[in-house]
A and B are shown apart, each in its own frame.
Chain A
Amino acid sequence: MPLQWFLKYRPKSLNEVEDQEEAKKELVEWIESWLKGKPAYKAVLLYGPPGVGKTTLAEALARDYKLELFEMNASDSRNLNDIKNMAEKASTTGTLFGIKGKLILLDEVDGLNARADAGAIDAILELIEKTKYPIILTANDPWDPSLRPLRNAAKMVELKRLTKYPLKRILKKICDSEKIMCEDEALDFIIDQSEGDARYAINMLQGVAGGYGRVTQDIARNLIRKKDRELDPFEALRNVFWAKYYWQAKNAVTDTQIDYELLMRWFDENIPFQYDNIEDVWRAYDALSRASVFLNRAKTVGWDLLSYTFDLMGPGVAFASFEKKKPTYKARWVKYQFPQYIQLLAKTKESRDALDSLLAKIGAIIHASKDKTINDVIPLFVQYYKKYQEKIDKELELTDKEKGIISMLTSFFQGGQGKEVIEKGTESGKSEEKKGRRTTYYRRKS
């Protein structure tokens, strides 16, 4: 068998990689932070659907920076020991750059089976902690709950599906190099079928060209079928929002393998983008919030109730729009986005930990729970903290991060005016305070 084209034409340098500009930039910044000796993250978690260039980017990066690539497939459980050995070696061996420099690549960490590969995540975490070399992890789906520790330990870099024109440039280049006649329409068809998966597109091109020596629309149409795959969240969402019948909407949420709590977050994120009318938005959220109520009931009372969660999440959201009743209705095409709430949680992990430890420290002194501390004590505490700062810092042994949290909370409670008011004192402050606090926002519609 001839060399597979997607290997033969794999870009050798970052410059040759089509699309993914953002990811490239982030990777370069990251590897250069290693170069300077102070990486904020020791590892990168490169994620995105299949065939968008995860491994390619890692290899190109290694080549551009003259690093020896050390590749391991993480999902092969026989490699658990190798990972452990690697952790040992990577923690001890010499300098990063120069001829001996290495880049560690752990492919497909989402292939780890939580049960069978128990310990693998821990081993990877240990590797990340000890390593003296940069590490790239790759995953198709990084949002699996079991991968949370890796998400926290690594910088997340997303690769998106390739868009039409970059894909077309890739295919055309191959056609030229292989001296094959390719119809434009045929390439468009292939690109359409590939759904942004470059490897799939190149494989299809090779499949058509290999048998026929040319790539025409007719041949392509006859040979190529859409990939079979589980419904991803994008499709699940589209199928719900576009559903015309109850069963369609319900199947859309029951057919997918995505964790239903995660799926709820996807709806939560995208409802206001799909629906324009605020009443539709409200009805969709109302159904979704009821779905979450039933999920909780299913968990506490009995799993039979889970069915209602699906009813409300699927059809409940689908038929929130009254427009659907019109025979001419067609759903708007919307580019769905990943739940920002989850990303926000991942991004703010460190500061949330610092907030937590701050609350625990204050709570321990005043004998109150964290909850009570943030509600009853912090709003007052931030007002006198400055005056006693030195003593409090010492008594609570506050870290810089915790001090940072205090100043964040201070501005939260005092708005922009905080410092000023303290310096000005009561006399000048009070009149504007009174004026500012009562604002008329609304009038009744006449």
Chain B
Amino acid sequence: MSAEEEVLWAEKYRPKSLDEIVNQKDIVERLKKFVKEKNMPHLLFAGPPGTGKTTAALALVHDLYGDNYRQYFLELNASDERGIDVIRNKVKEFARTVAGGNVPFKVVLLDEADNMTADAQQALRRTMELYTETTRFILACNYLSKIIEPIQSRTALFRFYPLKKEDVVARLAYICKNEKVECDQKALETIYDITQGDMRKSINTLQASSVYGKVTVESVYKVLGLAQPKEIREMITLALQGNFLKARDKLRELLVNYGLSGEDIIKQIHREITGNEINIPDDLKVLLVDYIGEVEFRIMEGADDELQLNALLAKLAVYGSKYLKGK
């Protein structure tokens, strides 16, 4: 796909080769060495979202194999693949044929590897060893601590740090110029502040803001305001007003119709309860946050999310009737 055709800026403006990457200088230097030597160990990329892990991996394979890198490259996402068996089979299939050309191995990128359970990571480790002759793995994760030790010790670690403000703002300004969109410098800085340097989110926010014409601080805030679903706040409000059944309906709608996961919802609830939009006394916030944290933990452990969230809504209804008076 040529760059002209791409409509999603986040992809259109993704650096295609290592030379184009402005940030993460140390990392890029080390990766370039691999390209030069046509050899590399298994790699572990760790860092916050939007700091260039996937970009670096894609650029690396692009530089290794040229424009047709796709045939030597398998991209998997641990949170999309259902279980280690699926991953294992895909890797097995992929590793069956050896790479042609002058690079003696193929590359598997496994994104969000920290979403795998410890057991699955053990199995992954064995898979990595099994195909190490023909395949190199790049594992990407947000939290290094969630990667088991044996994998850490078998991979070369690359730590990605949040991008610098001036770099992100400069990139956004470049995109504006290229897309012939007017923008305020202040607006671009606001985007950085809010996305905390997450490049993908920043570019996406920019593209959404450009819909309103000139990109201003106001349009950025509008975009981010609209990006927060109101339904979660409505659900909380209903529960606090004691309308448990309606709140439960809302919850089911969010889970089923809008495809949000229990974890997404509980995180949003946390944000809403601790934020300023719903007016509840601070001491009540503390009580609620403790329980919200417990619910998030249970959902992460694997308990049924709809049940856990319903329990939380019932708790909100109880506290609502105890501490607050409707309207």
Instruction: Say if A and B assemble together.
Output: yes
| Interface of A toward B, CB cutoff 8 Å | 261, 264, 268, 272, 278-279, 281-282, 285-286, 288-289, 292-293, 295-296, 299-300, 340-341, 344-345, 348, 351-352, 355-356, 359-360, 362-363, 365-372, 374-377, 379-381, 383-384, 386-388, 391-392, 395, 408-409, 412-415, 418, 421-422, 425-426, 429-430, 433, 437-445
Q: Evaluate contact between A344 and B229: CB separation under 8 angstroms.
A: no
A285 to B318, CA, bound (A): 12
- Segment with Cβ contacts to A, from B100-108, B120-128, B234-242: B234-242
- The residues of A that contact B261 with a CB separation of less than 8 Å are 371
| Interface of B toward A, CB cutoff 8 Å | 1, 5-8, 10-11, 49, 54, 58, 75, 77-80, 111-112, 198, 200-201, 204-205, 207-208, 210-213, 216, 218-219, 222-223, 225-231, 237, 240-242, 244-245, 248, 252, 256-261, 264, 276-281, 295, 298, 301-304, 306-308, 310-311, 314-315, 317-318, 320-327
B263's nearest neighbour on chain A, judged by CB, is A371
A412 to B264, CA, bound (A): 15
A443 to B7, CA, bound (A): 48
Q: List 5 contacting pairs A-B, 8 Å CB cutoff, sorted by A.
A: A261-B304, A351-B257, A369-B111, A429-B222, A439-B277
Kindly identify which residue among A292, A386, A409, A421 contacts B307, using a CB–CB cutoff of 8 Å. Answer: A292
Q: Evaluate contact between A281 and B298: CB separation under 8 angstroms.
A: no
B302 CB, nearest partner CB in chain A, Å: 4
Q: Evaluate contact between A285 and B311: CB separation under 8 angstroms.
A: yes
Q: Evaluate contact between A433 and B222: CB separation under 8 angstroms.
A: yes
Give me the 8 closest cross-chain CB pairs, A-B, nearest first.
A379-B227, A289-B311, A442-B324, A383-B208, A282-B314, A285-B311, A380-B204, A369-B79
* A contacts with B: majority SS: helix
A281 CB, nearest partner CB in chain B, Å: 5
Known: A371-B79, A426-B216. A278 touches B317 (CB 8 A): yes
Q: Evaluate contact between A282 and B259: CB separation under 8 angstroms.
A: no
- The residues of B that contact A356 with a CB separation of less than 8 Å are 259
- The residues of B that contact A345 with a CB separation of less than 8 Å are 256
Q: Evaluate contact between B318 and A282: CB separation under 8 angstroms.
A: yes
A415 CB, nearest partner CB in chain B, Å: 6
A169 CB, nearest partner CB in chain B, Å: 36
Q: Evaluate contact between A264 and B111: CB separation under 8 angstroms.
A: no
A351 to B256, CA, bound (A): 9
A348 CB, nearest partner CB in chain B, Å: 5
Q: Evaluate contact between A441 and B200: CB separation under 8 angstroms.
A: no
Known contacts A376-B198, A395-B1, A441-B237; 19 additional CB pairs below 8 A are A272-B248, A285-B307, A288-B307, A289-B303, A289-B307, A296-B302, A299-B302, A365-B11, A367-B111, A370-B79, A372-B49, A377-B200, A380-B207, A383-B208, A415-B230, A425-B212, A441-B324, A443-B324, A443-B325
- The residues of A that contact B79 with a CB separation of less than 8 Å are 369-372
Known: A279-B318, A341-B252. A366 touches B210 (CB 8 A): no
Kindly identify which residue among A352, A386, A418, A438 contacts B259, using a CB–CB cutoff of 8 Å. Answer: A352
A367 to B276, CA, bound (A): 34
Q: Evaluate contact between A442 and B279: CB separation under 8 angstroms.
A: yes
Kindly identify which residue among A388, A392, A422, A443 contacts B212, using a CB–CB cutoff of 8 Å. Answer: A422
A355 to B259, CA, bound (A): 7
B6's nearest neighbour on chain A, judged by CB, is A395
- The residues of A that contact B280 with a CB separation of less than 8 Å are 442
B291's nearest neighbour on chain A, judged by CB, is A286
Q: Evaluate contact between A293 and B298: CB separation under 8 angstroms.
A: yes
- The residues of B that contact A439 with a CB separation of less than 8 Å are 277, 279
A295 to B298, CA, bound (A): 12
Q: Evaluate contact between B323 and A444: CB separation under 8 angstroms.
A: yes
B74 CB, nearest partner CB in chain A, Å: 13
Kindly identify which residue among B244, B307, B318, B324 contacts A264, using a CB–CB cutoff of 8 Å. Answer: B307
A299 to B146, CA, bound (A): 22
A366 to B321, CA, bound (A): 46
Q: Evaluate contact between A366 and B314: CB separation under 8 angstroms.
A: no
A102 to B1, CA, bound (A): 52
Q: Evaluate contact between A348 and B211: CB separation under 8 angstroms.
A: no
A184 CB, nearest partner CB in chain B, Å: 40
Q: Evaluate contact between A425 and B307: CB separation under 8 angstroms.
A: no
Q: Evaluate contact between B277 and A437: CB separation under 8 angstroms.
A: yes
A391's nearest neighbour on chain B, judged by CB, is B7
Q: Evaluate contact between B257 and A408: CB separation under 8 angstroms.
A: yes
A381 CB, nearest partner CB in chain B, Å: 7
A372 CB, nearest partner CB in chain B, Å: 8
A288 to B304, CA, bound (A): 10
Q: Evaluate contact between B317 and A282: CB separation under 8 angstroms.
A: yes
Q: Evaluate contact between B301 and A296: CB separation under 8 angstroms.
A: yes
A396 CB, nearest partner CB in chain B, Å: 9
Q: Evaluate contact between A442 and B326: CB separation under 8 angstroms.
A: yes
A355 to B261, CA, bound (A): 13
Kindly identify which residue among A278, A376, A384 contacts B321, using a CB–CB cutoff of 8 Å. Answer: A278
Q: Evaluate contact between A426 and B222: CB separation under 8 angstroms.
A: yes
- The residues of B that contact A295 with a CB separation of less than 8 Å are 303-304
